[in-house]
Structure 1
Amino acid sequence: MLRRLSKIITATTTFLLLCNSVTLAQTEKSQSPDQFPPSPLEINTVDPLLPRNPENQPLSAQQRQQLEAALDKLNQEATAKLQAGDTQGAFNTWNRELRLRRYLGALQEVQALGRVGAIAYQKNDRLEVQYITERIQKIQKQAQSQKPPDLDLLQALGQAYQQVRSPQNAVDVYNQALAMFRQQQNAAKEVETLQTIGNLHLDWFDYPKAAASYEQLLKLAVASGDSTSQVTYLQQLAYIYEQAKQPQQAIKIRNQLVQIYQNQNNLTQLPNLKLAIGSDYESLARENPNLLQEAFANYQQAYTTAWQLQQYVRAGEALQKLIALYRSQGQIEEALQASQILIQSQQLASNFYGLMNAYDLMGQIYLERKNYPQALTAFHKGLEVAQQLKYEENHFSEQIKKVYGQMPQ
């Protein structure tokens, strides 16, 4: 009897273990990361908003108008759900709208995909963005099979890719459109598309490709004699090469800007440009010290031009650059002379913080030369300004103590 009972218990235990194993296996299988739900944009279900057999018979003008109005209403419903906090319900409604938009043509569908994709990206709904991106890619493949492709559709595809943050796909589509515009000799659209491509690269910090696009734009502007666009593209290129840490290229571009401004007698822009060129040369001088003289020359031109134009703040910036260079080269007397002019420029600009710092700088230079009386004078004047500003008073008090501590007894 006991042996029989033991066999029954053993058999029951084994059966339960097998059941648990099967259940566990099924659970693990259902949770497998390789199993994804089907795209809601590819579900084929009968929708009451559609007439019968829309695939076999094109919609009439009246049916298209009715469907378009109904889909616009769905979009409004989804927006209201999102505002009410029902995010899942909103995207369910939008997905229904997107499924039906295809019956109004690829262009309308792509525009709607981009609109909803932008919202999905903002809401960090990665799965929805993936579904929409896949659908855009499918439409792109169909569009490219047409000879020639529909240009309006290509541009809409590029915009949609931008909205779902897929820059490389966007660039690929825009490049195809660019080739077609060039073939058609449509200069306005060529420029517009190149600008879009350049800005896309710039938005994603791909500076070499952004520079290539703007160099092409510059050539077109030069060829057409469009001086306004030339200035715009040169300014953009100067920024791009600066961000890309390519000072040699930046110098070339900024010198072209200098030439244009001089030809236009627009001198107000020169101090800033000369400051930037001087900084570029100073950067290059780390490997080629001979270029330091170019840095000096451009800073001096920035200072003198700014002073003539009464741009005293800008003149002060150039003088500070010059003083730093003079000190680095051991030209202390020149640094002191420049610091005296710096004080004048800050006074003329009514820049009291700049004036306070200029006295501090002069005091530091005198202190390095062990010229204690002049250092004390500079620090005391700096302290007076600091007291008026109620700022950095302790710093100047400490500097004065430091000078007294170093003075011979």
Structure 2
Amino acid sequence: MLRRLSVIITTALLWQFSCSLTLADSQKPKQPDKFPPSPLEKITPDPLLLPLVDPQKLTPAQLQQLAPQIDQLNEAAAAQLEAGNRVAAFEIWNRELRLRRLYGSLPEVQALSRVGAIAFNQNEREEVQYITQRLQTIQQQTLSQPLIDLQLLRSLGEAYQKVRSPQLALEIYDRVLATVRQQKDTAAIVDTLKTMGEVHLAWFDYPKAAATYQELLSLATANGDHLNEVAYLQQLAYIYEQAKEPQQSINILSKLAKTYVSDNNTTPLPKLKLAIAANYQLLAKENPSLLAEAFKNYQDAYTTAWELQQYVDAGEALQQLIALYRSQGQIDDALQTSQILIEAQTKAGNFYGMMQAYDQMGQIYLERKQNPQALAAFQKGLELAQQLKYDESYFAQQIEKLSKANL
């Protein structure tokens, strides 16, 4: 009896365990295929081709006759998308893309590029994947050929950009660049490097963007292409600023400043000097001896801007100088510079800047316990605040505090 009971219990436990496994297995989410089969690889003949012979044997005349009907598919898809029928729209576009194969790789890639851009903008992830896969297939076929088709490769690169596949695009442009280097085609080398530089920048790859534009700069300098030399220096200045590389920024900005001086174009100099000074100020955090260069360049920015009557830039340089003087405990220099700042803001017609300058001057006088001078500065600030109808209460409070302190 006990043995029979033991068998029954054991059987029941095994059944329960088996059921638990089955239930657990049934509750596991099934892993779907990452992407279903590509609609671009559909084999079923298209209705437009049914009355015709084998698609592979279409004559040029038949292809020409078919072209307007394929163009109409693109228009029909666009109309469906505009009406909000996204599924229907991309079904039609996929049909168009399958038919574009009949016209060769270049027209197909151009069509893939166009539809790929739409798919990406519409957040159609699977469609973007199908198009990218098809582009890769065409790429493999193209690179297996003995002769490189540069036009097709460039179109592939552009198509990869449209579907936001920068690495695939850059692989193509690397191949193009290698080919045009062999051909010693300087114009094509420059165009390809420009395209690559734009891709690097678009994806915030500043080190590679910098290397690309440095090469472009070298080519422009070697070829005496002064206009582009300036453009590449400007682009490099932007890249190093974004990459937060102050020393590289200084090097490029200094070259740019020399170029402007040699061109007798002094207008951009104040802003360049401001940028150079700001970079020296950053470097001075690690190497305090470079603070002297920051002072020098802010002063150069101020004097150059004043000579050019660029009083806004002069005001910016003076403001930075005041902050530096105060940080170094050079209060007399800060006060003298504040007086010049007020004059610069007056000449610029910047009433808000004048108000801020008087406030700053008042704060410096307060630090020195020179209350009468501070009071006079805050009163000037209040007059401007009343004209601007801005921060009146702040200046009134400062004046009230000082008035009580003097009682």
Q: Where does structure 1 lack aligned partners over 5 or more consecutive residues?
A: 1-13
2:308 match: 309
2:207 match: 208
Alpha-carbon displacement from aligned partner over 1:155-196 (angstroms, at most 9, x marks no partner): 000000000010111111011111111222221221111111
- Counterpart amino acid of residue 54 in structure 2: N
Q: Is the 8 A contact 1:68 1:104 kept in 2?
A: no
TM-score, normalised on structure 1?
A: 0.91
- Counterpart amino acid of residue 90 in structure 2: F
- Counterpart amino acid of residue 322 in structure 1: L
Deviation at 1:34, TM superposition (A): 2.9
Distance 1:28 1:355 in 2: 70
- Counterpart amino acid of residue 191 in structure 2: E
Distance 1:301 1:133 in 2: 53
Distance 1:400 1:146 in 2: 83
Distance 2:360 2:247 in 1: 31
2:276 match: 277
Distance 1:401 1:191 in 2: 66
> Secondary structure of 2:309's match?
coil
Distance 2:371 2:219 in 1: 61
Q: Is the 8 A contact 2:135 2:156 kept in 1?
A: yes
2:64 match: 65
Alpha-carbon displacement from aligned partner over 1:295-328 (angstroms, at most 9, x marks no partner): 0000000000000011011100000010000000
1:6 match: none
Q: Is the 8 A contact 2:101 2:108 kept in 1?
A: yes
Count of residues in correspondence between the two structures: 386
Distance 1:113 1:204 in 2: 22
Distance 1:403 1:147 in 2: 87
Distance 1:377 1:77 in 2: 75
Deviation at 1:401, TM superposition (A): 2.6
> Is 1:236 paired with 2:235?
yes
> Is 1:332 paired with 2:341?
no
Deviation at 1:402, TM superposition (A): 3.2
Cα distance, 1:28–1:41 mapped onto 2, change above 3 Å: farther
Deviation at 1:36, TM superposition (A): 3.9
1:94 match: 93
1:349 match: 348
Mapping of 1:12-51 within 5 angstroms?
32-34=31-33, 36-50=35-49, 51=52
Distance 1:134 1:214 in 2: 31
Distance 2:245 2:314 in 1: 26
Cα-Cα RMSD: 1.9
- Counterpart amino acid of residue 161 in structure 2: Q
Runs of at least 4 residues off by over 6 Å: none
2:174 match: 175
Cα distance, 1:47–1:287 mapped onto 2, change above 3 Å: same
Cα distance, 1:36–1:201 mapped onto 2, change above 3 Å: closer
Distance 1:337 1:173 in 2: 60
Deviation at 1:32, TM superposition (A): 3.3
2:288 match: 289
> Secondary structure of 1:143's match?
helix
1:268 match: 267
Q: Where does structure 2 lack aligned partners over 5 or more consecutive residues?
A: 1-14
Q: Is the 8 A contact 1:367 1:403 kept in 2?
A: no
Identity of matched residues, %: 61
Deviation at 1:389, TM superposition (A): 0.4
Alpha-carbon displacement from aligned partner over 1:217-257 (angstroms, at most 9, x marks no partner): 00010011111111100000001001101000000000000
Mapping of 1:68-147 within 5 angstroms?
68-147=67-146
Q: Which moved more, 1:341-350 or 1:65-74?
A: 65-74
Q: Is the 8 A contact 2:35 2:126 kept in 1?
A: no
Deviation at 1:265, TM superposition (A): 1.1
Distance 1:339 1:35 in 2: 66
Q: Which moved more, 1:35-44 or 1:119-128?
A: 35-44
Deviation at 1:408, TM superposition (A): 5.4
- Counterpart amino acid of residue 365 in structure 1: I
Q: Is the 8 A contact 1:304 1:315 kept in 2?
A: yes
> Secondary structure of 1:370's match?
coil
> Secondary structure of 2:55's match?
coil
Deviation at 1:378, TM superposition (A): 0.5
Q: Which moved more, 1:275-284 or 1:182-191?
A: 182-191
Distance 1:52 1:96 in 2: 19
